[in-house]
Amino acid sequence: MPLKFHPPVEPEFWPLLQDSPIGSQLIAGRTLLDFQQQYANGVENAHQLENAWITGEDWQLLTNATAPTALKTNSGTVLAWTGDQDPANCSDEVTASDASFLIRYAWDFIQINEDIVAALTDPDHQGEVSPAAHIDGVVHVGEGSRILPGVVIEGNIVIGKNCKVGPNCYLRGSTTIGDDCHIGQAVEIKNSIVGHGSSVGHLSYVGDSVIGDKVNFGAGTITSNLRHDGSNHRSLVRDSLIDTGRRKFGAIVGNGSHTGILTAIYPGRKLGPNSTTRPNDTVERDIVE
């Protein structure tokens, strides 16, 4: 008898990926699709949902299966399967770990990036790292990038090609910076993704956030990432407040957005593509237009 599955919930990635597939999202210096394909490599007749994140260990469960098998969450939603194109034709099923899940919202990319970057073990310095920089972690620096004097890095960091970082920056957590980025004087970035061609101006702070491509943060732009009561952040999605499951959550910023100097962004807020703020603005609610 064919297996039955709960249908997946429609994802909502706004303000990211408005005109791009989910697989194009920057993760750990590559794309999400690159990692999806890497982890599924070697599994015969493998299929997965486009917005499924599956660890290598959970793919191994399908590798060990002899019959067409479905990999499901504890709630019964199928993530991946072997056999033909229809998972309902699987004759067996296995349950995924909690580390594999459906990517439903933009903030889920923070967790995926954190898991991959934190697991890096070998440094890769293709760019220029100043001897006056301090590195305590595994760092990947792309070709043409420069890490200037006074930069302090704690934890594992991935920096793309042709970037300028510093002087006197503080990068920590599991942070990914895309290609052609500028991280200015005295900027702190923690556990975040900064998209290609983006600039974070001097004296700014970005924490637990996803910044899109070609974003410009004016000097002194601050993302707050912690509620006073310490509880999980909630974010407005389709007129409903969704528990993000994150105690620390900064901002999601769409491509092409610009902030004025001294902009303060409340925790868990989203700035739509090509949005702007004025100097000294406080972003209390999502900027939709």
- Pair of tokens at residue 161: 């090609």
Distance of alpha carbon 12 from alpha carbon 238, whole angstroms: 9
CA 227 to chain centre: 21
pLDDT tens for each residue of 126-158:
999 999 999 999 999 999 999 999 999 999 999
**Active site annotation includes 202:** yes
Give per-residue burial for 151-166: e unless 16+ CB within 10 Å, then b. Answer: bebebbbbbbbbbbbb
Instruction: Answer yes or no: are the C-beta atoms of 81 and 144 closer than 8 Å.
Output: no
Q: What's the pTM?
A: 0.94
Distance of alpha carbon 243 from alpha carbon 109, whole angstroms: 15
Residue-level pLDDT at 4: 52
**pLDDT-flagged residues of the chain (< 50):** 1-2
Tell which residue, 248, 250, 251, has the closest CA to residue 231: 248
Q: How far is CA 8 from CA 11, 72, 146, 262, in A?
A: 9, 11, 43, 41
Distance of alpha carbon 53 from alpha carbon 181, whole angstroms: 27
The catalytic residue among 202, 228, 233, 258 is 202
Paired residues of 53 in beta bridges? 101
Tell which residue, 187, 186, 181, has the closest CA to residue 164: 181
Residue-level pLDDT at 11: 84
Paired residues of 253 in beta bridges? 211, 271
SS3 call for 190: strand
Residue-level pLDDT at 1: 42
**What domains, with CATH codes, occur in the chain?**
25-104 (no CATH), 118-283 (2.160.10.10)
Number of C-beta neighbours around residue 260 at 10 A: 16
Residue-level pLDDT at 5: 53
